């Protein structure tokens, strides 16, 4: 049974990677998670923005960043400008505001295609885990470590795991697509 745990862990990692990638895709509304990958030089240490400031979403399309140290305003602003967010921060001397413009229909469709591609890559990763697992079981069968019946049971169990994780990928992709197409 421990070999199934390993297979399931690898498939779960593919789901985690998918979730991380989907969070980084900007939908119509402001999501503080898009700042997670942006770091600021804080006394020589690259530090995430949310560890230097309070990040809030007062309105659907606005993120407000209030640094705990006023001198960090310029550093945070520079880091956001260097990032691939595509949003120009506005700094009023106390807080930084990120105002997200509404997405155009064309941009929504482009993001939806991108989400589908990311989802497909996650499915490929899960199927690769399945292939590797089945190869291992077939090798065990060839070496006489398991019987033909054990091999059939293992193939069936691995396929059930694969189906479960593929279904989860589909759900996550569908949720993100709805979020993007929401006006």
Residue 4 has a pLDDT of: 84
Residue 38 has a pLDDT of: 84
Enclosing domain of residue 94 = 32-99
The span from the CA of 179 to the CA of 158, in Å, is 32
**Global pTM value:** 0.70
Are residues 174 and 108 part of one domain? yes
Are residues 149 and 89 part of one domain? no
CA angle 45, 50, 54 (to 5 degrees): 125
Are residues 76 and 123 part of one domain? no
Domain boundary pick from 64, 99, 134: 99
Q: Which stretches of the chain score pLDDT less than 70?
A: 1-3, 26-28, 183
Residue 2 has a pLDDT of: 57
Residue 64 has a pLDDT of: 92
Buried b / exposed e over 127-157, threshold 16 CB at 10 Å, is eebbeebbeebeebbeeeebeeeebeebeeb
Residue 26 has a pLDDT of: 67
CA angle 117, 175, 182 (to 5 degrees): 100
Residue 129 has a pLDDT of: 94
Domain boundary pick from 70, 99, 128: 99
The domain tally of the chain equals 2
Are residues 92 and 40 part of one domain? yes
């Amino acid at each position: 049974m421990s070999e199934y745990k390993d297979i399931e862990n690898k498939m779960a990692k593919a789901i985690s990677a998918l979730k991380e990638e989907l969070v980084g895709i900007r939908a119509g509304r402001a999501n503080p998670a898009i700042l997670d990958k942006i770091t600021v030089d804080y006394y020589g240490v690259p530090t995430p923005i949310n560890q230097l400031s309070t990040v809030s979403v007062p309105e659907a399309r606005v993120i407000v960043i209030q640094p705990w140290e006023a001198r960090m305003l310029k550093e945070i602003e520079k880091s956001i400008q260097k990032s691939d967010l595509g949003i120009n921060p506005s700094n009023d001397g106390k807080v930084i505001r990120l105002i997200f413009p509404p997405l155009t229909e064309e941009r929504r469709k482009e993001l939806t295609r991108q989400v589908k591609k990311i989802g497909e890559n996650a499915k490929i990763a899960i199927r690769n885990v399945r292939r590797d697992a089945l190869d291992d079981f077939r090798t065990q069968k060839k070496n006489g470590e398991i019987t033909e019946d054990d091999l059939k049971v293992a193939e069936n169990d691995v396929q059930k795991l694969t189906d479960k994780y593929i279904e989860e990928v589909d759900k996550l992709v569908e949720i993100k697509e709805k979020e993007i197409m929401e006006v």
